[in-house]
Structure 1
């Protein structure tokens, strides 16, 4: 009887933890890191005590919530550095970073800002910027990347990319792909007019529907 009871408790705890993480991905993904913990608990269908029992701090919850995105970011860096063509590696890293940031507002916030005690995300950011610097040097040697490119240009690009976070998810993904394509072409030493540009999202219609738009 005791063994069965213990297994039931452990199973309930696993279910609660999974629901909390699913809710956190949804809440932080759409609202960003400023979303309150109580909203995560509400969407998970658990009480605050249960939430804090699994994740004593908001930082602990954020770190676990975006573990998959962090692994994807590490893989993007590894793949880019291993690419035989440095320009292809450089381009693919920008595309994958934009995709990760477009997918989740919370991950973009954690990656780009000095969130309290977010040392793991700061380390990810530094690793990514070092990889971009290395890829840039390689691509510049081949003549494919503009000679004036510096890593701060990528930071500027990501800051501008965060402006897409206010758009709905499906539109944001399409806008992100088109944004990345234009930025990559701006970084290219010689424009490639044959490269197809992703289809544009219907942003004008959204502006027309926004409150206060004349």
Structure 2
């Protein structure tokens, strides 16, 4: 196996367990190469992240396409989020990637913009059908991703399927028939973007 492939394989294993901030030195050792070789193949951590997460991303996009094709808008919305959180639960690094923004990197921005468009699409379809309350916004779904990520970390070793229970509890609160006035508006797109950048910066 070539160095490039060994690095991707080692990165997938390490990111899945340690998250997106996993040690690059440890990844290089796991691939049997020097840190200099790692940087020759992947000049930045983000380059390695994108390469390592490509299979997870494709797994997610395949499931997302199936969810977007579901005839019933509510079932499509539920299916989309279940697919999203299932992939999130299976890989700590991908969880980090979903939760953050990496400004200045065109590829990660493209991927996140695609995810946001998909969420907007599946959410708007369920809202037009009167199944999801009208005041739910993209930022509410991203906040759910953040919350689910912490819960996944807490239960990974003891109850790895617990995320499904709490997702469906939250989905009941999203139903139009459960709507009541909320004391705070959703985060604006700018606020959401800044929050995702700050998560990446460790603020």
TM-score w.r.t. length of structure 2: 0.76
Q: Which residue of 1 aligns with 2:27?
A: 40
- Conserved? CA contact 2:19–2:92, under 8 Å: yes
Aligned length: 178
Change (3 A) 1:145 1:78: same
CA distance in 2, matches of 1:90, 1:126: 18
Q: Which residue of 2 aligns with 1:153?
A: 140
Residue in structure 1 matching 2:98, options 111, 126, 134: 111
- Conserved? CA contact 2:14–2:22, under 8 Å: yes
CA distance in 1, matches of 2:7, 2:165: 33
1:18-71 per-residue CA deviation (whole Å, 9 max, x = no partner) reads 332222112111211212210101222332233334333322211110001111
- Conserved? CA contact 2:152–2:160, under 8 Å: no
Residue in structure 2 matching 1:126, options 98, 108, 113: 113
Structure 1 vs Structure 2 CA RMSD: 2.3
Shift of the alpha carbon at 1:180? Answer: 1.7
Structure showing greater relative contact order (alpha-carbon pairs closer than 8 Å, 6 or more residues apart): 2
Q: Tell me if 1:142 matches 2:129.
A: yes
- Conserved? CA contact 1:99–1:173, under 8 Å: no
Residue in structure 1 matching 2:74, options 87, 95, 112: 87
TM-score w.r.t. length of structure 1: 0.72
